[in-house]
Chain A
């Protein structure tokens, strides 16, 4: 096939599936076949059809963030990651569904309806990058861009049986990533294989002068790291990530994966990250606090949907009441409260201290000779659509193993480690800051061995 043919084929497949009898609702926008173009036929991603989460600004598609308030909003500029992917030859074939403004763990909080899990259409694909994960898992695209604020790439990757990477905070430019919680948000990549996810990450990583939080460090050879092996590496298993109540089937899969790594030459060591239990409360103070400020700009004044009213206050109220969904409003209220005069120290201040302690936990195990950590990605496989919508706390707990990496800023990857009752399950590798290569070596080893075992 010519370079363009792959993309055209992908667009056809997306249209066929999404317009057919059993759509996944993974895409909010699909490219017009005539508009496809390859900017670089020699690049690392030459001709590769790429799906992009709809909270990344694109000039060729609307960028809605899964929200009504941005319905029909077309960005006049391109996000850095999409610009870089296109420059490397990728062809953006569509924008994928997500929980509104990336707030959620199931993609049910989209104003444009939920995305279904291709493994079981009665279940969620995870979230918030559920559209990207489902698109890859359904074989519509080999790789996709997502964003991960508390697990939003890794958890859907686990639920959909694919690979998802959240890089070190600052590794990838956030310019053009519509902010949810800026100090935690990081663009991530999803792929059918570790190599695919690594290839996309290789292209989009690196310093960007438009993002003051992006880092100037050179990007290591990520693709080359995938087959490097794990000989001699010390892999820590944090007790707090294998709690007593954990599904025994999941525990078995984790232990199997650890044995495989051991056989490949790694040393397994039990470790403790004692402040892990503060992660969820800490995250659900800090992320909403930042969100409450980040989402103030959706006021109907300059762009997006405006609820026309007689006076300014009514316009604000109308626009935001009708334009934003319930989970977004819940988090804005939580965050506004946490930052209020008189409560700031108690909530925001305490959460910041907890964040430092969680970060120190990681620093001390990594300083103590541990090269990476291995954990389950999520406590359960994909749950039923609607099952957790009435219980935000239960929903929030599906991120319990992933939020710590965002709080500490370390990289994490989810790789398939088997399935429970026919549903895929992911294992998570967490590495020290800037050591994505180490992380990919371990993930690559697991992928080879576990797929080999299943075959």
Chain B
């Protein structure tokens, strides 16, 4: 029998706030343990939570970026369970009445465009961290993370393969980065994924028993864990067995899943409305303003790049991969550069130079206006492509304007035939072998010879003129 997987995801996203959700403590990753705590996030007797409006705004923006319906009234509830890193013995979350429901994410899946419905997006506080390997035979707890604002995004089971799930996650992360609500750093745990998966016979409409995979901290991990779990469930079903509803923990080092708890010992979280917090009531104007201020999201921007700048879908995709590169590109075009050249420069030499220097657009000294100027100087023939790359490197190192650098360094393109003739003659004399092979029919050697002339000119020679003169001289 052949089976098809049905996959739904729960994604926890840490909001990029300065302060925790219910107290004034700073959100900091990796600081001295238990250094960002107070009576509220420690759950001291008598301490009470109050809601951080900044976190609420970011959550609303998150939900709007996922095309959700925002509910003007949502309710804080307590999810009760005991764990040492959960200071109050309950987590403040939203359950019956979440902040947002009914969203949609469109993504580029392995088999073309896919659509995942978002069932809900709600706010909650994070727990602290239990650290099991710091002291022998003991666990220590760091509560710096306790109370950090999260949005939990729950999808409908609309994904049908591990690759599909991964593609969705890539798109989701892209949207969250665009919406500027989270740094989405999976290593620091600011984006965490749980996956629910079940199998059903191909074409069936009923869902099978599902398992939940927790503790996955990379997109490739999600894909691998799902593949392994799908294979396991298929094996069970193929042998006439039934899949037990259980929670599985992913071990990334071993590439293994192990059972954490079965349905029988699943928690009864005893959710009930938190009496310390009135319902969260949003002003309609807050939602409207947030909606209007929502940045253009990745797919729309990509489509617009194709439309407005005549870029290929591939180029548009590369340029819109990050908000920073898309903004940079548009700034270059805005400073009068032609779109296609701007795209080529940004994706090509600029990216290569940044990689080489270990920089990103935030630190890079070549501002969009400078690149536009350089492109113009290439286009009008003032400087050759080769020299322009040199100029780029100089500006990246020392700053300054490309025009000034070209003047100072004498990098302007030489189109004076007398000078070009001299370089050409020198190369013909210096490379007798290649010259005779060329004359013997190895016409592709022209490239090598042009290159030699370019070198001799320190990149300033006009390569097209050089090519023409060489061809003439070597007939």
Which A residues are closer than 8 A to B by beta carbons? 55-57, 63, 65, 70, 73, 75-77, 79, 174-179, 181-183, 209-213, 289-290, 292-293, 295-297, 299, 301-303, 312, 316, 336, 339-341, 344, 348
Contact = CB atoms under 8 A, between A and B. Distances in A.
Nearest to B85: A301
A293 B80 contact: yes
A70 B46 CA distance: 13
B49 A339 contact: no
B48 A73 contact: no
A302 B50 contact: no
B44 interface: yes
A312 B50 CA distance: 31
Interface in B43-62: 43-51
B294 to A, nearest CB: 28
B84 interface: yes
Per DSSP, chain A at the interface is: loop
Contacts of A70: 45
Contacts of B51: 212
Nearest to B143: A302
B82 interface: yes
A178 B46 contact: yes
Contact of B272 (A76, A177, A178, A348): A348
B272 A175 contact: no
A339 B77 CA distance: 12
Category for how many chain B residues contact A: 20 to 34
A174 to B, nearest CB: 6
Contacts of A341: 268, 270
B277 A302 contact: no
A289 B78 CA distance: 12
A212 B50 contact: yes
A143 to B, nearest CB: 21
A-B pairs, top 3 by smallest CB distance, nearest first, are: A296-B89, A183-B275, A182-B275
Given A293-B80, A303-B44, 15 more contacts: A65-B45, A76-B44, A176-B47, A177-B46, A183-B275, A210-B48, A213-B278, A292-B270, A293-B78, A296-B82, A297-B45, A312-B139, A316-B82, A336-B270, A339-B272
B47 to A, nearest CB: 7
Contacts of A211: 48, 50
Contact of A293 (B87, B90, B268, B277): B90
B48 A175 contact: yes
**Helix, strand, loop or mixed for chain B's interface?**
loop
B233 to A, nearest CB: 26
Given A293-B90, A293-B270, A296-B88, A75 B50 contact: no
Interface in B275-293: 275-278
Given A212-B276, A316-B82, A57 B46 contact: yes
B90 A75 contact: no
A335 to B, nearest CB: 9
Interface string B263-277: 000001011100111
A56 B46 CA distance: 7
B257 interface: no
Contacts of B46: 55-57, 63, 75, 79, 174-179
A301 B80 CA distance: 16
Given A175-B46, A293-B272, A77 B39 contact: yes
Contacts, number: 101
Contacts of B84: 299, 301, 312
A92 to B, nearest CB: 16
A178 B275 contact: no
Given A212-B276, A301-B141, A339-B272, A296 B45 contact: no
A345 to B, nearest CB: 11
B13 interface: no
Contact of B87 (A176, A181, A302): A302
B50 A209 contact: yes
Contacts of B88: 296-297
A297 B46 CA distance: 11
A73 B45 contact: yes
Nearest to B84: A301
Interface in B367-422: none
Contacts of B272: 289-290, 293, 339, 344, 348
A212 B48 contact: yes
Nearest to B79: A293
B9 interface: no
B276 A340 contact: no
Contacts of B80: 292-293, 296, 339
A208 B51 CA distance: 14
A296 B45 CA distance: 11
A75 B46 CA distance: 9
B87 A182 contact: no
A176 B48 CA distance: 8
A293 B89 contact: yes
B266 to A, nearest CB: 10
Contacts of B271: 339
Contacts of B42: 302
Nearest to A295: B89
A295 B278 CA distance: 20
A289 B48 CA distance: 18
Contacts of B270: 292-293, 336, 339-341, 344
A415 B276 CA distance: 30
Contacts of A289: 272
A296 B90 contact: yes
Contacts of B45: 57, 63, 65, 70, 73, 75, 178-179, 297
Given A183-B275, A289-B272, A312-B84, A297 B48 contact: no
B276 to A, nearest CB: 5
Which of A55, A174, A297, A312 has most chain B Cβ within 10 Å?
A: A297
Contacts of A181: 275
Interface string B29-47: 0000000000100111111
A302 B48 contact: no
A336 B82 CA distance: 13
A176 B44 CA distance: 9
8 contacts: A75-B46, A178-B45, A211-B50, A213-B277, A293-B89, A293-B272, A296-B89, A301-B84
A65 B46 CA distance: 11
Nearest to B139: A312
A193 B188 CA distance: 59
B56 to A, nearest CB: 13
A182 B89 CA distance: 15
A172 to B, nearest CB: 13
